[in-house]
Amino acid sequence: MSRGRRQVLGAGLACPPCNIGPLSTPNYATALAQPAVHKLHDGSKVFAGQRAEGFYVDLGSIFDLLNLRPIQELNVFAKALGLMSAAGVNSTAGVNVHSLAVQVPMSLLTRDGNPPTASTGTIGVWTTASRQQVRILEGGFSRPDGMVSNIGPWVQVSRLGNPLFNEVLIPMSTKIIVDLTLLTQMDSMGLGTIVSLYVSAKASGCQLILVNLSQRVRELFRITNVWSLLEVYGDNIIRLP
């Protein structure tokens, strides 16, 4: 996008398959990955596919209730088990991840098209998360093997709906997150729907989490005493235990 106008820079570009192994995908780097690096007419290069994970992350300790190995002897629970501090483990070393890579000439990132300087070299990047408006679970929450259908237009959703810190503390498979960003008010029928969803989720061993409640919805919960069922996490996250 430039000066408020969108322009498609590439379409129908090749994307390599997953690197299964030398028998299924022989010569992966030269035969499949390298041909999928595309140079566009403006000098940019793009690639979509598997690449080596570039971050150092100790997944085992992070998902063990943030029990970071280098300082775990300071953790009350780890200390009670006699665990001492140890070096971190790079859990993703040698692992590929699905990547969207874009290499852009520096001159395309400045206002005047010239190489960047202290006054023209500021780069702004933004992303959005979108989902289709309606998700249908065939058979309800009691049928995890049922068919899942997503229909309707794509709408932007809050990234609070699936944050990593939430996944660290509570597995995604045991929680249902409802984003109420576009809901400015609620009547008795909507309140009944929330309560019914809460009952069904609890019967299935799931937690119901509501995010981005408007002030009017919060007041309705207080008036009807539903607020007493809630656990509040900051201004935007509410959990029904």
Domain ranges of the chain: 1-55+92-126, 130-240
Three-class secondary structure of residue 38 per DSSP: strand
| Cα atoms in the Cβ-side hemisphere of radius 13 Å centred on 184 | 0
C-alpha to C-alpha distance for 211 and 191, rounded to whole angstroms: 15
Token readout for 164 is 């990593």
Cβ distance 208 to 193 under 8 Å? no
Written as tens digits, the pLDDT of the chain (241 aa) is 666 677 788 888 999 998 888 999 999 999 999 999 999 988 899 999 988 887 788 888 877 777 888 888 888 778 888 888 999 888 888 888 888 888 988 878 777 777 777 777 666 666 677 778 777 776 655 555 667 778 888 887 755 444 454 555 555 556 677 777 778 888 888 888 888 888 877 777 777 777 777 888 888 888 887 777 665 554 555 555 5
Q: Which residues contact 106 (CB under 8 A, 6 or more apart)?
A: 115, 116, 121
Q: What letter represents residue 206's amino acid?
A: C
Cβ distance 46 to 13 under 8 Å? yes
Tell me which CATH code domain 130-240 carries.
3.30.750
Q: What letter represents residue 200's amino acid?
A: S
Query: Has this prediction a pTM greater than 0.85?
Result: no
